[in-house]
A = this chain, B = another copy of it.
Amino acid sequence: MTNKIENRKSEIIRIAAKLFKEKGYSAVTMRDLAAEMGIKAASLYNHIRSKEDILNTIIISIAEAFTDGMKLIKASNDNCKEKLRQIIELHVRLSSQNIYGMASLNNDWMHLQNQQEYYKVLRANYENDFRKILEEGITSGDLINVKPEVMLFSILTTLRSLYLWIPKKEDLDLQELSETLYQILVEGINK
Protein backbone atom coordinates (compact mmCIF):
# COMPACT_ATOMS: atom_id res chain seq x y z
CA MET A 1 0.00 0.00 0.00
CA THR A 2 2.62 2.49 1.08
CA ASN A 3 4.74 1.36 -1.86
CA LYS A 4 1.97 2.10 -4.31
CA ILE A 5 1.51 5.58 -2.89
CA GLU A 6 5.25 6.19 -3.05
CA ASN A 7 5.42 5.05 -6.67
CA ARG A 8 2.61 7.33 -7.71
CA LYS A 9 4.26 10.16 -5.82
CA SER A 10 7.54 9.49 -7.60
CA GLU A 11 5.75 9.67 -10.91
CA ILE A 12 4.25 13.03 -9.97
CA ILE A 13 7.68 14.32 -8.92
CA ARG A 14 9.24 13.15 -12.16
CA ILE A 15 6.62 14.67 -14.45
CA ALA A 16 6.48 17.86 -12.41
CA ALA A 17 10.24 18.28 -12.74
CA LYS A 18 9.95 17.93 -16.50
CA LEU A 19 7.30 20.65 -16.65
CA PHE A 20 9.24 22.87 -14.24
CA LYS A 21 12.24 22.66 -16.56
CA GLU A 22 10.16 23.72 -19.55
CA LYS A 23 8.29 26.68 -18.03
CA GLY A 24 9.59 27.25 -14.52
CA TYR A 25 7.87 26.36 -11.27
CA SER A 26 5.58 29.39 -11.11
CA ALA A 27 4.21 28.99 -14.61
CA VAL A 28 3.26 25.33 -14.15
CA THR A 29 -0.20 24.81 -12.70
CA MET A 30 -1.54 21.82 -10.87
CA ARG A 31 -3.94 21.44 -13.80
CA ASP A 32 -1.00 21.26 -16.23
CA LEU A 33 0.61 18.61 -14.10
CA ALA A 34 -2.58 16.61 -13.69
CA ALA A 35 -3.28 16.73 -17.43
CA GLU A 36 0.20 15.38 -18.14
CA MET A 37 -0.55 12.56 -15.67
CA GLY A 38 -3.93 11.87 -17.26
CA ILE A 39 -5.88 12.67 -14.09
CA LYS A 40 -7.65 15.68 -12.56
CA ALA A 41 -5.86 18.25 -10.43
CA ALA A 42 -7.76 17.36 -7.27
CA SER A 43 -6.49 13.79 -7.48
CA LEU A 44 -2.90 14.94 -7.08
CA TYR A 45 -3.59 15.84 -3.49
CA ASN A 46 -3.99 12.19 -2.54
CA HIS A 47 -0.25 11.84 -3.13
CA ILE A 48 1.32 15.19 -2.34
CA ARG A 49 0.52 17.84 0.24
CA SER A 50 0.99 20.90 -1.92
CA LYS A 51 2.69 22.24 -5.02
CA GLU A 52 5.57 23.46 -2.89
CA ASP A 53 5.91 19.97 -1.41
CA ILE A 54 6.81 18.77 -4.91
CA LEU A 55 9.45 21.45 -5.34
CA ASN A 56 10.94 20.67 -1.94
CA THR A 57 11.30 17.01 -2.80
CA ILE A 58 12.91 17.71 -6.17
CA ILE A 59 15.44 20.28 -4.97
CA ILE A 60 16.46 18.95 -1.58
CA SER A 61 17.11 15.40 -2.77
CA ILE A 62 19.51 16.61 -5.46
CA ALA A 63 21.17 19.17 -3.20
CA GLU A 64 21.83 16.45 -0.64
CA ALA A 65 23.24 14.16 -3.32
CA PHE A 66 25.78 16.86 -4.20
CA THR A 67 26.62 17.35 -0.53
CA ASP A 68 27.13 13.61 -0.08
CA GLY A 69 29.33 13.45 -3.17
CA MET A 70 31.46 16.36 -2.01
CA LYS A 71 31.88 14.78 1.41
CA LEU A 72 33.49 11.70 -0.16
CA ILE A 73 35.77 13.80 -2.35
CA LYS A 74 36.86 15.93 0.61
CA ALA A 75 37.63 12.85 2.67
CA SER A 76 39.97 11.37 0.06
CA ASN A 77 43.71 11.89 0.09
CA ASP A 78 43.89 12.74 -3.62
CA ASN A 79 45.55 15.89 -4.84
CA CYS A 80 43.73 18.97 -6.07
CA LYS A 81 43.49 17.99 -9.73
CA GLU A 82 42.27 14.49 -8.93
CA LYS A 83 39.61 16.03 -6.70
CA LEU A 84 38.62 18.33 -9.52
CA ARG A 85 38.25 15.35 -11.81
CA GLN A 86 35.99 13.70 -9.27
CA ILE A 87 33.88 16.86 -8.89
CA ILE A 88 33.39 17.00 -12.65
CA GLU A 89 32.38 13.34 -12.67
CA LEU A 90 29.95 14.01 -9.82
CA HIS A 91 28.23 16.79 -11.75
CA VAL A 92 28.08 14.79 -14.98
CA ARG A 93 26.65 11.81 -13.17
CA LEU A 94 24.03 13.63 -11.08
CA SER A 95 23.03 15.92 -13.95
CA SER A 96 22.52 13.05 -16.37
CA GLN A 97 20.57 11.13 -13.75
CA ASN A 98 18.24 14.05 -13.12
CA ILE A 99 18.24 16.47 -16.03
CA TYR A 100 14.83 17.90 -15.18
CA GLY A 101 15.46 18.30 -11.47
CA MET A 102 18.68 20.21 -12.12
CA ALA A 103 16.62 22.96 -13.74
CA SER A 104 14.60 23.43 -10.55
CA LEU A 105 17.73 23.32 -8.42
CA ASN A 106 19.29 26.10 -10.46
CA ASN A 107 16.31 28.29 -11.23
CA ASP A 108 13.48 27.70 -8.77
CA TRP A 109 15.11 27.45 -5.35
CA MET A 110 13.83 30.94 -4.50
CA HIS A 111 10.30 29.54 -4.47
CA LEU A 112 11.11 27.21 -1.63
CA GLN A 113 9.52 28.34 1.60
CA ASN A 114 10.17 26.08 4.58
CA GLN A 115 13.34 24.56 3.16
CA GLN A 116 14.91 27.61 1.52
CA GLU A 117 17.34 28.31 4.36
CA TYR A 118 18.40 24.67 4.49
CA TYR A 119 19.00 24.72 0.73
CA LYS A 120 21.10 27.87 1.02
CA VAL A 121 23.26 26.31 3.72
CA LEU A 122 23.87 23.22 1.58
CA ARG A 123 24.78 25.36 -1.40
CA ALA A 124 27.09 27.65 0.57
CA ASN A 125 28.87 24.68 2.12
CA TYR A 126 29.31 23.07 -1.27
CA GLU A 127 30.82 26.22 -2.72
CA ASN A 128 33.10 26.64 0.27
CA ASP A 129 34.40 23.10 -0.04
CA PHE A 130 34.96 23.62 -3.76
CA ARG A 131 36.76 26.91 -3.15
CA LYS A 132 39.05 25.33 -0.58
CA ILE A 133 40.11 22.65 -3.05
CA LEU A 134 40.99 25.34 -5.58
CA GLU A 135 42.85 27.40 -2.98
CA GLU A 136 44.88 24.38 -1.96
CA GLY A 137 45.77 23.84 -5.61
CA ILE A 138 46.93 27.44 -5.94
CA THR A 139 48.97 27.25 -2.73
CA SER A 140 50.61 23.98 -3.73
CA GLY A 141 51.46 25.39 -7.16
CA ASP A 142 49.30 22.94 -9.06
CA LEU A 143 46.98 25.68 -10.32
CA ILE A 144 47.71 29.13 -11.71
CA ASN A 145 47.48 32.06 -9.36
CA VAL A 146 44.24 33.80 -10.35
CA LYS A 147 41.44 34.81 -8.02
CA PRO A 148 39.91 31.56 -6.71
CA GLU A 149 36.48 33.19 -6.75
CA VAL A 150 36.59 33.71 -10.50
CA MET A 151 38.01 30.23 -11.00
CA LEU A 152 35.28 28.74 -8.83
CA PHE A 153 32.39 30.40 -10.59
CA SER A 154 33.79 29.85 -14.04
CA ILE A 155 34.00 26.10 -13.48
CA LEU A 156 30.91 25.79 -11.35
CA THR A 157 28.58 27.61 -13.73
CA THR A 158 29.67 25.34 -16.54
CA LEU A 159 29.00 22.29 -14.40
CA ARG A 160 25.69 23.68 -13.16
CA SER A 161 24.54 24.26 -16.73
CA LEU A 162 25.22 20.70 -17.83
CA TYR A 163 21.52 19.88 -17.64
CA LEU A 164 20.88 22.35 -20.46
CA TRP A 165 22.85 20.50 -23.09
CA ILE A 166 23.37 16.93 -21.95
CA PRO A 167 19.92 15.99 -23.32
CA LYS A 168 20.82 17.38 -26.74
CA LYS A 169 23.73 14.99 -27.01
CA GLU A 170 22.16 11.66 -26.22
CA ASP A 171 24.89 9.82 -28.08
CA LEU A 172 27.46 11.28 -25.73
CA ASP A 173 29.34 8.83 -23.58
CA LEU A 174 29.32 10.17 -20.03
CA GLN A 175 32.85 9.09 -19.12
CA GLU A 176 34.11 10.65 -22.35
CA LEU A 177 32.19 13.85 -21.56
CA SER A 178 33.78 14.03 -18.11
CA GLU A 179 37.24 13.66 -19.60
CA THR A 180 36.64 16.27 -22.29
CA LEU A 181 35.32 18.66 -19.68
CA TYR A 182 38.32 18.04 -17.45
CA GLN A 183 40.59 18.80 -20.35
CA ILE A 184 38.75 22.03 -21.26
CA LEU A 185 38.22 23.27 -17.73
CA VAL A 186 41.63 22.40 -16.30
CA GLU A 187 44.05 22.27 -19.23
CA GLY A 188 42.30 24.98 -21.27
CA ILE A 189 41.52 25.01 -24.96
CA ASN A 190 44.80 26.58 -26.03
CA LYS A 191 47.12 24.28 -27.97
Contacts and interface: CB of A to CB of B under 8 A. Distances in A.
A49 interface: no
Contacts of A169: 149
A78 B3 CA distance: 63
Interface string A42-77: 000000000000000000000000000000000000
B184 A187 contact: no
A187 B186 contact: no
Chain A, interface size: which category? 35 or more
Contacts of A161: 153, 157, 160-161
Interface string A148-191: 01110111011011001100010000000100110111111111
Nearest to A146: B180
Contacts of A184: 146, 150-151, 154, 188
B81 A190 contact: yes
Contact of A188 (B23, B24, B187): B187
A22 B110 contact: yes
A188 B146 CA distance: 11
A187 B161 CA distance: 21
A191 B107 contact: no
Interface string A9-47: 000000000000011111100000000000000000000
A174 to B, nearest CB: 12
B23 A24 contact: no
A82 interface: no
Nearest to A177: B150
Name the residue among A26, A137, A190, A191 with the largest chain B CB count within 10 angstroms.
Answer: A190
Interface of A: 22-27, 81, 107-108, 110-111, 134, 137, 141-144, 146-147, 149-151, 153-155, 157-158, 160-161, 164-165, 169, 177, 180-181, 183-191
